[in-house]
Amino acid sequence: MADSVIKIKIVKNKNKYKSMTFSGHASHDFGKPGYNILCAAISVLSQALFSYLFDRQYLSDLRIGDGFLFVEVSKIHVDRVFNNIEMIYEAILNLEKQYPEYLKVEEVVQ
């Protein structure tokens, strides 16, 4: 396994997205900090999701740190955001297929 791995955890409850956690940094194999294509791709996807959910006040929990983002959708909005999160999730799974040593996606069904 690579030295630097981005980990993404998706939590679903009854086939509805509950939360997403993004953690870690991509390997320097894809470019130095600020120029890393894998890190940039994940950053764009996670920030797009965050902005969409935050701007519409759809979050029940939010945590941000260096190389870390956790978003939890409030129960009353899970149906409303399904397609948006599904699109982000599909893009992430596509990246995981391309970079399996550097990106690990875990889906947890509760």
35-75 pLDDT, tens digit per residue, is 788 989 999 999 999 999 999 999 999 999 999 999 999 99
Residue type at position 67: G
Binning pLDDT at 50, 70 and 90, where does residue 104 land? very high
Q: Which residue has the tokens 């935050």?
A: 54
> Do residues 36 and 30 make contact, with C-beta atoms less than 8 angstroms apart?
yes
- Return the domain boundaries, the chain: 6-109
pLDDT at 8 over 60: yes
Write down the CATH number for the domain with range 6-109: 3.30.70.1490
Strands (DSSP E) contained in 2-87 are: 6-13, 16-23, 59-65, 68-73
Q: Which residues contact 77 (CB under 8 A, 6 or more apart)?
A: 56, 58
Confidence class for position 26, pLDDT limits 50, 70, 90:
confident
Residues in the chain: 110
